[in-house]
């Protein structure tokens, strides 16, 4: 997957940390600016350092517009949170271009962004949070099944507050990610046609477990408006995803640091 998707995975922890803001009455606004270092695509040994700019607007009724997720609605309760949204899927270029893509993927064809529908759910059990995120990406091009198919992706996670005090808040979590056959083939498979155009051998991938991972997020508030968050994340690619010839390193690590202004 592309760098934008990797950064989206990292910022999930940041969004969880700011969940209390969404429970406040009135309109909520958030602006983010920072930097992230991550693999150029999922499985790559090449890395890139990219700037982060984003923000969100949340209405009193829970409707939001977020640069990372898109347009949606969320309800945050004392024990159970739920949200739905419509946004754009990740993309991957088959050439090196700015902060994205890699020349190593030449001949694989670019995976273009397409509309997606997402569902979020979280259950708070004391200091633990059980969360699930499901996304369905629509078909982008029926004539390009290798890169344009519709697919489904599921992320299950378990998070916990490890520390809260004068030095901010530290949270940790573990997760597992799953994809259907079209998801794994899109991001990690190599068809006969792709193999004939690229340096990779044919790799037939099927659905199932994609990766297991862990995250640490440290958030430091400076006042009621300003805060800084740093996130460290690691994912280990397994099964057909990890066996893909596209994968140079099964263990993928990323780091993100950003300033957030809320008002």
At 27 the three-state DSSP class reads coil
**Per-residue confidence (pLDDT) for residue 24, from 0 to 100:** 44
Chain segment 232-261, per-residue pLDDT in tens? 999 999 999 999 999 999 999 999 999 999
Cα distance between residue 113 and residue 5, in whole Å: 11
Kindly indicate the confidence band of residue 26, based on its pLDDT and cuts at 50, 70 and 90: confident
| 28's tokens | 């909520």
Higher-pLDDT residue of 142, 15: 142
Chain segment 50-67, per-residue pLDDT in tens? 999 999 999 999 999 999
Predicted TM-score of the model (pTM): 0.89
101 contacts 94 by C-beta, under 8 angstroms? yes
Domain parsing of the chain, residue ranges: 3-262
| 252's tokens | 């993928």
Superfamily of domain 3-262: monomeric porin ompg (2.40.160.40)
Q: What is the mean pLDDT of the chain?
A: 92
**Per-residue confidence (pLDDT) for residue 25, from 0 to 100:** 59
* 3-state SS track over 50-90: EEEEEEEEECCCCEEEECCCEEEEEEECCCEEEEEEEEECC
């Amino acid at each position: 997957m592309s760098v934008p998707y990797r950064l989206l995975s990292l910022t999930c922890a940041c969004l969880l940390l700011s969940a209390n803001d969404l429970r406040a009455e009135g309109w909520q606004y958030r602006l983010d600016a920072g930097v992230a270092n991550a693999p150029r695509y999922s499985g790559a040994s090449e890395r890139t350092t990219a700037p982060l700019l984003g923000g969100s607007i949340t209405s009193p009724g829970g409707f939001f517009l977020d640069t990372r997720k898109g347009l949606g609605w969320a309800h945050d309760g004392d024990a159970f949170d739920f949200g739905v949204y419509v946004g754009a899927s990740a993309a991957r270029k088959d050439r090196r271009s700015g902060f994205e893509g890699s020349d190593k993927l030449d001949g694989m064809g670019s995976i273009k962004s397409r509309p997606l529908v997402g569902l979020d759910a979280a259950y708070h059990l004391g200091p633990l949070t059980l969360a699930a995120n499901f996304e369905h990406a629509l078909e982008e091009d029926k004539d390009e099944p290798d890169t344009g198919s519709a697919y489904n992706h599921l992320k299950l996670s378990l998070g916990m507050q490890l520390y809260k005090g004068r030095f901010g808040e530290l949270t940790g979590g573990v997760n597992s990610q799953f994809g259907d056959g079209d998801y794994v083939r899109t991001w990690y498979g190599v068809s006969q046609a792709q193999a004939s155009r690229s340096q990779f051998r044919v790799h037939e991938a099927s659905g199932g477990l994609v990766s297991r991972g862990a995250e640490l997020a440290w958030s430091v508030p400076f006042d009621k408006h300003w805060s800084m968050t740093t996130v460290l994340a690691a994912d280990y690619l397994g099964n057909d995803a990890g066996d893909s010839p596209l994968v140079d390193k099964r263990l993928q690590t990323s780091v993100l640091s950003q300033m957030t202004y809320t008002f």
